[in-house]
Amino acid sequence: MIKNEKQYKISKKLLGEVIEKIGNTKTEKDYNIKRKLVAESLEDFKEDIENEIREYEKLKSGKSAVLKERSLSSLPDIIVEYKIANHLTHKEFAKILGLKEQQLQRYEAESFKTVSFQNLMKFLDLINLDLKIKETVIKPIRRNKTTA
């Protein structure tokens, strides 16, 4: 996931380099099976980069639904998406969350994996995002009776 403008610019540059490399690989004289596999691998990588760039651009344009239904494990992504969709700098967003800018950058670099659940919930509250837990039916586990 592209998390900021710097990563976006790096991804755009990388995309250009990958496209160029694909073109070079396909036009080489000895286009054998090995080169074909390299080209296919580069094509897959190119698609991944393009998807990430599209998602970032969609978030920045406001055309993405930040509040779509997700699993609990994607809470950190929602925080990053909120920052992008609202065109907030690290400094502005850190102030909203009551963090130092450097701490926010560390959290983002680690995809918020070191943030406690309590602080994650606090961040969601500070940016006025509500968390709703979908009802599910819990089925009991059936245990096999063993005979002795």
Q: Give this prediction's pTM.
A: 0.65
Q: How crowded is residue 68: how many other Cβ atoms within 10 Å of its Cβ?
A: 9
| Residues 112, 103 contacting (CB under 8 angstroms) | no
Instruction: For residue 31, report the phi and psi dihedrals to the nearest 5 degrees.
Output: -75, 85
CA atoms of 56 and 8, how far apart (whole Å): 8
| Residues 29, 108 contacting (CB under 8 angstroms) | no
Tens of pLDDT along 93-120? Answer: 999 999 999 999 999 888 888 888 888 8
Tens of pLDDT along 45-58? Answer: 999 999 999 989 98
Q: How crowded is residue 4: how many other Cβ atoms within 10 Å of its Cβ?
A: 17
CA atoms of 126 and 128, how far apart (whole Å): 5
